[in-house]
Amino acid sequence: MRKFNLAESVARAEGARFMDVWLGPESPFFHVAVHVWERTGEEWPLHDHPQDELFYYAEGEVLVSVEEGGEVRQEVVPEGTWVFVPGGVRHGSRNVGKGRAVIMTFNSPNLGWREE
């Protein structure tokens, strides 16, 4: 068993953009990471990848963009929101709040991942 603590990951950010990988190469099924964005405007631009992705927006005010049927749908999601994006669907997120945003990402299967 492995345990992870969200508050400890956020504390390690120390005021800068930060990514803490909880599950990486050791799991063929899941890639799990915590992302901390300290500044307004930090983002992932629209992109896609083959694996499914589940997001948990734990803190902050985040604008989520998802391309559906050739149109980009955008919505500011409240803290505590989960968003599922199937593999191959273009999506992105941007910190639009005045403070920190904390986002957890769960990718499956684990095909490896880029650094922040």
The mean pLDDT of the chain is: 90
Distance CA 28, CA 113 (A): 12
The better pLDDT of the pair 24, 68 is held by 68
Q: Which residues contact 28 (CB under 8 A, 6 or more apart)?
A: 109, 110
The pTM for the full model equals: 0.88
Q: What is the pLDDT of residues 66-90, one digit of tens each?
A: 999 999 999 999 999 999 999 999 9
- DSSP 3-state assignment of 59? strand
Residue 1 included in any domain = no
CATH number of the CATH domain containing 78: 2.60.120.10
User: How far is the C-alpha of 18 from the C-alpha of 30, rounded, in Å?
Assistant: 20
Domain total in the chain:
1
Which range marks the domain in which residue 59 is found?
6-10+18-108
